[in-house]
Amino acid sequence: MLYEFKLPVIVPQMSGATIECLYGARDDSLRLGSKLMDLSVDLSSAFAQECPPVSFYRLVLRETVYLRKIDVVPGQHCALGDRIALFSTDPSEPIDQETTRQVRCTIAGIIHHDGMWTGSHS
C-alpha cells in the first residue's frame, strides 16, 4: 500500500512550514518511532510582535514503512496540504499508483537544535 504525508495544520493560524531537518532518505526502511523530519512554523504574519513567534516540531512515524520519495530539502517552505513524502509497505511496490491514506505519524513540539536549517544559513 502507498501512503503519503501532506503538511497538516499544526497550529490554527499557520499557512505553511519550513523543513528544518530530514532524518530519512529515499528507500530507507523506517520503523515505528523513527524520526521523519523537523519543521518550523513562523506565525509572524498572523501576529504582530517584537519577537517573531516561531515554533519547532518533530514528526515521528507511528508505523513501519519504506520512504519511497521525499519531495523537499531543508530550508524549503511548504504550504498546507503540500505532499512532502511518499511511503510504501513493500520496498518494490510501484509508486505510480494512488495513495491509500496519510502515513500515521505524531507531531511533538521541540526546541531549536544545532542540526536545524534555521540559524545555520544566512
Measured distance CA(13)–CA(119) in Å, rounded: 23
Give, in order, the Cα–Cα distances in Å from 116 to each of 37, 98, 104: 10, 32, 23
Q: What pLDDT does residue 114 have?
A: 92
Q: What pLDDT does residue 52 have?
A: 66
Query: Strand pairing partners for 47?
Result: none
Q: What pLDDT does residue 46 have?
A: 57
Strand bridging mode 65-70 / 83-88: antiparallel
The ranges assigned to domains in the chain are 2-110
10-residue mean pLDDT profile of the chain (122 residues): values are 96 92 96 97 70 87 98 96 97 95 97 88 58
Q: What pLDDT does residue 53 have?
A: 81
Measured distance CA(112)–CA(121) in Å, rounded: 14
- How crowded is the C-beta side of 65, counted as CA atoms within 13 Å? 28
Range 2-110 classified under CATH 2.40.50.100: yes
Q: What pLDDT does residue 62 have?
A: 98
